[in-house]
């Protein structure tokens, strides 16, 4: 990210390897968390590119010709990725993660994951949701500013603002990411280091809708 390089997993060859069905005997016997990891990687391969494009937007750009088309494209990519991560989390991952935790543990935010990989994946997924939400929030606010100057209808502005998530939901993702991080940190400080970096990047930007890279 620091060097603004796109993820190598975006290439069709790597995508085919990530998303294909198991073809080797060991793949059918591997822990479920490993197959979930491949699926999540396939979902998030474009997130670094999205952050790179987002980070190049300056204040003056939103008032220039072509901004509407560019923001539409970015919002579509962000919204699609956001929906894919939520679907992966709720449909594929959470049934495994939460099956090892009692309802009381979930309420108290002390989840015992089945293995360290599951904790890493939960932290990454929820951090990704926070990151994409910040990008969508920035784009929505930018569109609202540009549309108000362009005299767009109130309905159009309302449709844009409806893409924003409720603060309580955002806080839930943040708490889940922290819970998963603490679990991983308790198992391996080395495995927790990249997770700590991701959480710091999201939390340091606060409500400013900015993400440092």
Write out pLDDT tens, residues 108-121: 566 778 899 999 99
- Rounded to an integer, the average pLDDT of 165-182 is 89
What confidence category does residue 102 fall into, taking pLDDT thresholds of 50, 70 and 90? low
Task: Please say if the pLDDT value at position 88 is more than 60.
Answer: yes
Percent of the chain with pLDDT over 70: 62
Q: Hunting for tokens 């502005």 — which residue is that?
A: 157
The average pLDDT across 156-166 equals 59
What ranges do the domains of the chain cover? 67-204
What are the start-end ranges of the H helices in the chain?
Answer: 12-19, 25-29, 32-44, 47-55, 67-87, 94-97, 103-108, 116-150, 154-161, 167-187, 189-204
- pLDDT tens by residue, 28-77: 556 778 888 888 988 888 888 888 887 777 666 666 666 777 778 888 88
State pTM to two decimals: 0.76
Q: Which tokens is 92 given? A: 């594929």
What is each CA distance from 138 to 52, 135, 213, in whole angstroms?
14, 5, 16
pLDDT in tens, 175-211: 999 999 999 999 999 999 999 988 988 876 554 444 4
* Position 125 pLDDT exceeds 80: yes
Question: How far apart are alpha carbons 149 and 8 in whole angstroms?
Answer: 40
Confidence class for position 137, pLDDT limits 50, 70, 90: confident
Residue owning tokens 């990891």: 37
Given a contact cutoff of 8 angstroms between Cβ atoms, the answer to whether 198 and 127 are in contact is yes
Sign of the C-alpha dihedral, residues 39, 184, 46, 69?
A: positive
**Looking up tokens 């290439």, which residue turns up?**
11
CB 67 within 8 A of CB 61: yes
- What pLDDT is stored for residue 122 in this prediction? 95
* Per-residue confidence band for 82, with pLDDT thresholds at 50, 70 and 90: very high
């Amino acid at each position: 990210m620091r060097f603004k390089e796109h993820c190598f997993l975006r290439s069709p060859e790597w995508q085919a390897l990530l998303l294909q069905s198991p073809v080797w005997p060991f793949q059918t016997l591997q822990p479920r968390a490993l197959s979930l990891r491949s699926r999540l990687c396939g979902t998030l391969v474009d997130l670094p590119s999205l952050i790179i494009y987002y980070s190049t937007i300056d204040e003056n750009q939103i008032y220039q010709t072509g901004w509407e088309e560019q923001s539409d494209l970015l919002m579509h990519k962000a919204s699609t990725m956001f929906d894919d991560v939520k679907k992966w989390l709720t449909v594929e991952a959470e049934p495994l993660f939460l099956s090892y935790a009692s309802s009381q543990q979930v309420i108290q935010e002390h989840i015992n994951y089945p293995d360290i990989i599951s904790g890493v994946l939960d932290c990454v997924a929820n951090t990704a949701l926070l990151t994409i939400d910040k990008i969508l929030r920035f784009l929505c606010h930018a569109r609202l500013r540009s549309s108000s100057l362009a005299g767009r209808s109130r309905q159009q502005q309302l449709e844009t603002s409806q893409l924003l998530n409720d603060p309580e939901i955002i806080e839930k993702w943040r708490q889940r990411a922290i819970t998963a991080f603490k679990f991983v940190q308790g198992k391996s400080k080395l495995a927790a280091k990249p997770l700590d970096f991701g959480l710091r990047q999201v939390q340091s930007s606060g409500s400013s809708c900015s993400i440092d890279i």
